[in-house]
Amino acid sequence: MPAYVRADKCDGCNGRERVECVHICPNDLMKLDADGSDSGHELKAYNQEPEQCWECYCCVKVCPQNAVECRAYADFVPLGGSVQPLRDESKIVWTIRFRNGEKKRFKFPVRTTPDGSADPYGDEPEADLADLADHGQLFTANTHECDFSQFGAAVGVDDAGS
C-alpha cells in the first residue's frame, strides 16, 4: 500500500517554510492541495499518484504531524501490525504496534549535519559533459581495458577493434 495522508492529522505544514512531504518525496508524488479542488481537503497534502509510490518512507519519517502512513514491511513488522516513525532534530523513534496491542519502540540517532549542508561531490572536479558522448568513459574511465573484437559487428565494432 502506498503512502497516504490522513487529512484529519495533516495541517499542510502550517507556518513552516515548506511542506515537508512535498519537499522530500524522491518521486515528486506528494502535493499540497491549496484550494481543495484535487483531494477535497483544502490545505492538505496528498499522494497524487499512489501507484507510483516506492514506499520509501521518506514522507512518513519527515511529517511533523505524523499524518502520512504507509504499509509496514513484513521484515520488521508482523502481519496485522503497524509502524509509525517520529523524528526530531537528533533522533528517530520507530513505534511498532503489534496486532495483539503490544507496542515496541526503537530509537536511533539521525544525521548530524544541518539540512542542505551535505556536499556530495566534495573536492571532485566539475564534470566534462563531452565525456558523456564516449560510452567507454561514462562509468569506467581508466578502470579496465576491454577487448571489443569479441563483440564483432553486433555492436558496430569493425575488425580492427575500434
Alpha helix (H) residue ranges in the chain: 20-24, 58-62, 135-138
In this prediction, residue 73 carries a pLDDT of: 80
In this prediction, residue 154 carries a pLDDT of: 58
Phi first, then psi, for residue 122 (nearest 5°) are 50, -125
Placement of cell 492538505 in the chain = 44
In this prediction, residue 89 carries a pLDDT of: 79
Catalytic choice (54, 73, 76, 151)? 54
pTM of the complete model beyond 0.85: no
Catalytic: 94? no
In this prediction, residue 23 carries a pLDDT of: 93
As a whole number of angstroms, the distance between CA 154 and CA 74 comes to 45
Low-confidence ranges of the chain (pLDDT < 50): 157, 161-162
In this prediction, residue 137 carries a pLDDT of: 63
In this prediction, residue 30 carries a pLDDT of: 94
Q: Encode pLDDT of 97-139 as tens digits.
A: 998 999 999 999 987 777 778 888 888 888 778 777 776 666 6
C-beta separation of 99 from 77 below 8 A: no
Amino acid identity of 37? S
